[in-house]
Amino acid sequence: MGYPDIDRARDGQAALRRIIDTYAGPGTDLRALRRVVDLCREVQDAVEDDYCREKIRAIAEYSAELLSQAEHRARGALSGIDFLRSQIRAALELLQSRLYSLERTRRFGQQYAHAGFGAIHSTKR
């Protein structure tokens, strides 16, 4: 049994990863930026979770910087593009991990409910 909201969020996360991985840079890519904004909104709307929202916000901000500027400021030994990509990929990984955790929590909760544990807790006071 799948969870449509988590599945939609995973689809959006995968699409965001593809956009970031295929960005050739340097230079602006407003079409990709518009798609990233739409995908971020879709993922955010799909899952009601503050942690997911925080990661989506980070993805949107770093993506906006990556895709809307012709030149990117270097950060230490990393070029600006590499730094932004690494930040976006890290946030995407954390989002993916959180979606997995949300799904496992739901499944675990359902296992207890189906086993009758939910009834025990609902009558216990």
Check: CB of residue 33 under 8 Å from CB of residue 41: no
Give per-residue pLDDT as tens, 44-82.
Answer: 999 999 999 999 999 999 999 998 876 777 777 888 888
Q: Is the pLDDT of residue 1 over 70?
A: no
Give per-residue pLDDT as tens, 11-46.
Answer: 999 999 999 998 867 778 889 999 999 999 999 999
Residue 125's pLDDT is what?
39
